[in-house]
C-alpha cells in the first residue's frame, strides 16, 4: 500500500471515528435539551463531510496510477512523432520512393494530434495500453518503410491506425477520451 493510500485510509478511519464519537454525544443528550440541536447539527455536518470524502476516494486513490499513465501516454505519442519525422528524413535521405510519404505524413499528423489526449481516471489503463500498442505500430511502420517487411504489410499498418484511432477518439468506441 502506498503512502498516499495509507494516508487516505487513515483519514477515512479518523473521519469515521469522529462521526461515531459525535453520534455518541448526540445520543447522550435528551432531544429537549438545548445542546442537543448543536450536537445534532455537528453530527449531520460530519456525516456530510464523510459522504463527500467517500465519493472522492476512488478518484484520489487512482490519481498516482493516472499520473503514471499520463506520463506514459504523453511520451509514447511524442516518441512516435519523433519516429515519424525521422522516418520521413530517412526515406528522403536514402532515396526511397516518395510513395512512402503517403504512409508517413499521415502517421506524423496523427501522432501530433495524439499529444492532446487527456488521460482520465476512468480510462487511464486503457489509454496506457493504447499508447503501448502505438509503439508496436511504430515498429511495424519502421519495418515496412525500411523494406524489412513486404509492402503488403501496409494493410496491417492502416488497420492498426484505425484501431488505435477509434479507441482513442470520443464516441462509443473510444468512450469519451477528451482531446
Kindly state whether residue 177 falls inside one of the protein's structural domains: no
pLDDT digits (tens, 9 = 90+) for 83-100: 999 999 988 888 877 788
**What is the number of residues in the chain?**
179
Q: What is the mean pLDDT of residues 115-127?
A: 84
Which of 123, 115, 134 lies closest to 174 in space, CA to CA? 123
Kindly state whether residue 179 falls inside one of the protein's structural domains: no
pLDDT digits (tens, 9 = 90+) for 66-87: 888 889 999 999 999 999 999 9
Residue 108 region by backbone torsions, left for phi larger than 0, else alpha for psi between -120 and 50, else beta: alpha
Alpha carbons 104 and 117: distance in angstroms, whole number: 21
pLDDT band at 4 (very low <50, low <70, confident <90, very high): confident
Kindly state whether residue 15 falls inside one of the protein's structural domains: yes
Listed ranges 74-78, 113-117, 148-152; the one with the highest mean pLDDT: 74-78
Give the chain's domain count: 1
Which grid coordinates belong to 164? 488505435
Q: 0.85 exceeded by the pTM?
A: no
Residue 1 has pLDDT above 70, yes or no: no
Kindly state whether residue 74 falls inside one of the protein's structural domains: yes
Kindly state whether residue 178 falls inside one of the protein's structural domains: no
The SS3 call for residue 147 is: coil
Residue 171 has pLDDT above 80, yes or no: no
Average confidence score pLDDT of the chain: 84
* Domain membership of residue 80 as a residue range: 3-168
pLDDT, position 35: 84
Amino acid at each position: 500500500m502506498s503512502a498516499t493510500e495509507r494516508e487516505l485510509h487513515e483519514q477515512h478511519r479518523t473521519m469515521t471515528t469522529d462521526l461515531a464519537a459525535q453520534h455518541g454525544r448526540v445520543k447522550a443528550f435528551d432531544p429537549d435539551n438545548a445542546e442537543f440541536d448543536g450536537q445534532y447539527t455537528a453530527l449531520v455536518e460530519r456525516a456530510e463531510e464523510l459522504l463527500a470524502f467517500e465519493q472522492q476516494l476512488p478518484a484520489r486513490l487512482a490519481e498516482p496510477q493516472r499520473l503514471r499513465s499520463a506520463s506514459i501516454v504523453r511520451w509514447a505519442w511524442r516518441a512516435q512523432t519523433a519516429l515519424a519525422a525521422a522516418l520521413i528524413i530517412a526515406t528522403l535521405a536514402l532515396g526511397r520512393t516518395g510513395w512512402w510519404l503517403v504512409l508517413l505524413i499521415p502517421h506524423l499528423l496523427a501522432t501530433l494530434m495524439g499529444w492532446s489526449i487527456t488521460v482520465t481516471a476512468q480510462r487511464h489503463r486503457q489509454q496506457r495500453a493504447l499508447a503501448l500498442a502505438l509503439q508496436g505500430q511504430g515498429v511495424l511502420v519502421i519495418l515496412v518503410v525500411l523494406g524489412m517487411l513486404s509492402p503488403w504489410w501496409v494493410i496491417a499498418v492502416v488497420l492498426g491506425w484505425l484501431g488505435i484511432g477509434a479507441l482513442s477518439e470520443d464516441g462509443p468506441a473510444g468512450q469519451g477520451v477528451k482531446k
